[in-house]
Amino acid sequence: MSAKKRSGRVIDLRGKRNTPTRAQGKLPLFEKRHVPLRARRRRKRVFFTFCAVLVSAGAAWGLHYASYLPQFSINSVEVVGAKEISPVLVESFVEAELSEGAYRPLSRKNIFVYPRSALVRATEEYFPRIRSVNISRESLLAQAIIVAVDERQPFATWCAGDGECYLLDDTGFIFTALENYFETGEATTTEATHVSTKYAFTGGLKDAESSPIGQMFLPDRFVNARAFLKSLEQTGFLAQKISVDDGEDISVSIARGFAIRASLAGDAETTVRNLKLVLTSDALRGKEDDLLYVDLRFGNKVYYKFKE
């Protein structure tokens, strides 16, 4: 072959034999980057947190929607046990508390989540005459609630200095006012409510300036006062009027015509036993009609005074 032909175009393959091409699939189209483990974990946490928030939001909306469904809502209120208080008034109050007017995440009228304890407290606070309230439903899916009311029973009368009188129960709780009253024998009878009580108290109220309704009469000594009056009655001394001074001293006017003064801090049975001993002593035997009072507040020393 001549030198002229050998000097033509020449392709040198020596530098290309070991170099793969992209078409042969041996070079990556995109270069892979190394992601640290901490970053991968953080991405997973963010993803799962987002999913959890999404699921929680969906569940909350579902509960909200279900709580307002008519088939799961309270549709009636039944009041039982109310005598002096109008059942319609109690029913209206409970329904107003359930409605309330505010839009809530969960309906207050839902039969599963209605605020039972709050309803009980609100009803007892609004109606002082009610001692206790129990709210229930007859069955799991019942849409009516039953409000069982236990009313306070009059035990005694408490009268203010201006002549306004009130009823209190056997715990000393003052729960209603009386407009008219008059005395008949051993009891104070109210014309307004036709209620007769055995005892009539005056004094002894800590906050006499505000309305007595809702207050406790002798909160620390009422049990002692009851025990003392009961011991007097069992011994034959029938109380007519009871006056309390500073919550500690009591003066009881009895049917025999004189007053008995005693301390509510002392033992009731011991005080009555001392009274019997004094009345049978030489100084007072047969003179009860002339007595003004017997004072038993000073332990073993007993003071007495005759009428002038």
120 within some domain: yes
Average pLDDT over residues 164-189: 71
Q: For 88-122, write each residue's pLDDT tens digit.
A: 999 999 999 998 766 778 888 989 989 999 999 99
Q: Tell me what pLDDT residue 47 has.
A: 77
Residue with tokens 């051993």: 186
Residues 165 and 215 in one domain: yes
Residues 189 and 284 in one domain: yes
For the ranges 154-158, 167-171, 245-249, which has the lowest average pLDDT? 245-249
Residues 167 and 296 in one domain: yes
48 within some domain: no
176 within some domain: yes
22 within some domain: no
Residues 162 and 264 in one domain: yes
Q: Residue 63, Cβ neighbours under 10 Å: how many?
A: 13
Q: Percent of the chain having pLDDT more than 90?
A: 48
Cβ–Cβ under 8 Å, residues 111 and 137: yes
In the predicted structure, residue 240 carries a pLDDT above the cut 80: yes
2 within some domain: no
Residues 249 and 182 in one domain: yes
Q: Tell me what pLDDT residue 249 has.
A: 92
Residues 227 and 302 in one domain: yes
Q: Tell me what pLDDT residue 182 has.
A: 43
Burial of 2 (0-12, 13-18, 19+ CB in 10 A): exposed
Residues 141 and 234 in one domain: no
Picking from 151, 166, 195, the residue at the C-terminal end of a domain is 151
Q: Tell me what pLDDT residue 155 has.
A: 93
Residues 170 and 298 in one domain: yes
Q: Percent of the chain having pLDDT more than 70?
A: 81
Mean pLDDT of the chain: 83
Cβ–Cβ under 8 Å, residues 113 and 99: no
Residues 182 and 101 in one domain: no
DSSP letter assigned to residue 173: B
In the predicted structure, residue 215 carries a pLDDT above the cut 50: yes
In the predicted structure, residue 185 carries a pLDDT above the cut 70: no
Residues 142 and 171 in one domain: no
Q: Tell me what pLDDT residue 42 has.
A: 82
Picking from 120, 151, 182, the residue at the C-terminal end of a domain is 151
CATH of the domain at 177: 3.40.50
In the predicted structure, residue 186 carries a pLDDT above the cut 90: no
Q: Tell me what pLDDT residue 187 has.
A: 46
Per-residue pLDDT band at 192 (split at 50, 70, 90): very low
Q: For 254-287, write each residue's pLDDT tens digit.
A: 998 999 999 999 899 999 999 999 999 989 988 9
Residues 177 and 288 in one domain: yes
Residues 143 and 83 in one domain: yes
In the predicted structure, residue 57 carries a pLDDT above the cut 80: no
Per-residue pLDDT band at 190 (split at 50, 70, 90): very low
Average pLDDT over residues 230-238: 92
Q: Which residues contact 193 (CB under 8 A, 6 or more apart)?
A: 84, 167, 176, 178
Picking from 98, 124, 151, the residue at the C-terminal end of a domain is 151
CATH of the domain at 84: 3.10.20.310
For the ranges 25-34, 41-50, 75-84, 236-245, which has the lowest average pLDDT? 25-34
Element (H, E) at 123: helix 116-126
The total of structural domains in the chain comes to 2
24 within some domain: no
In the predicted structure, residue 177 carries a pLDDT above the cut 70: yes
28 within some domain: no
Average pLDDT over residues 134-145: 94
Q: Tell me what pLDDT residue 117 has.
A: 94
168 within some domain: yes
Among 147, 98, 100, CA closest to 124: 147
| Residue range of the domain that includes 262 | 156-306
For the ranges 25-34, 68-77, 267-276, which has the lowest average pLDDT? 25-34
